[in-house]
A = this chain, B = another copy of it.
Amino acid sequence: MNDISIRTARAEDKAAWLTLWQGYLTFYGSAIAPDVTEMTWSRIIDPITPVFTRLAVVDDRPVGFATCILHPRTWAVEPACYLEDLFVDENQRGRGIGKRLIDDLIAMGRRDGWTNLYWHTNKDNETARRLYDRYDKADNFVRYRLPLTP
């Protein structure tokens, strides 16, 4: 089995990221306007925004990604890291790539002093939750979210 490595996305990864991103949106039955995708990619490679992507790479080819947003909190001096998007190419499932991406974020956070790493998932997404439960149980909190734009 080929080695998996994890690294930060950079400008030359755009085409590979776009393919994965499209697969991710398709998986969730979602569509995003092209100008939003362009902005998201621009934020990912922009060193001055708090958005970043870690890529899982096999044979020099990106096969999965984790995209995060660092933001301040009111209960800690250190920032929290919100893992907004996690995806692994369907042909590469079952090799532990999702776990490698999360492990990598945990290691980054310990090194850089994030107060926590958190994410949301649909409560019925059993496949994903089997992986997540290896870290910890989901906590006792529910989420309220009000859309404000049309």
Task: Give the interface residue-count category, chain A.
Answer: 35 or more
Q: For A69, give its contact among B72, B135, B146 (CB under 8 Å).
A: B72
Q: Is A121 in contact with B148, judged by CB distance below 8 angstroms? A: no
Q: Is B148 in contact with A144, judged by CB distance below 8 angstroms? A: no
Chain B hits for A124, CB < 8 A: 140
Q: For A43, give its contact among B32, B46, B117, B138 (CB under 8 Å).
A: B46
Return the CB mask of A26-61 against B: 1 if under 8 Å, else 0. 000010100110111011011111110000000000
Q: Is A117 in contact with B138, judged by CB distance below 8 angstroms? A: no
Count of chain copies: 4
A: which residues have CB within 8 A of B? 11, 30, 32, 35-36, 38-40, 42-43, 45-51, 67, 69-79, 82, 84-85, 106, 109-110, 113-124, 129, 132, 135-136, 138-149
25 A-B contacts, Cβ less than 8 Å apart?
A32-B75, A35-B77, A38-B42, A42-B43, A43-B74, A46-B49, A47-B113, A48-B70, A48-B79, A51-B72, A51-B74, A67-B74, A117-B146, A117-B148, A118-B144, A120-B143, A121-B142, A121-B144, A122-B140, A124-B140, A132-B144, A135-B146, A136-B144, A141-B142, A143-B143
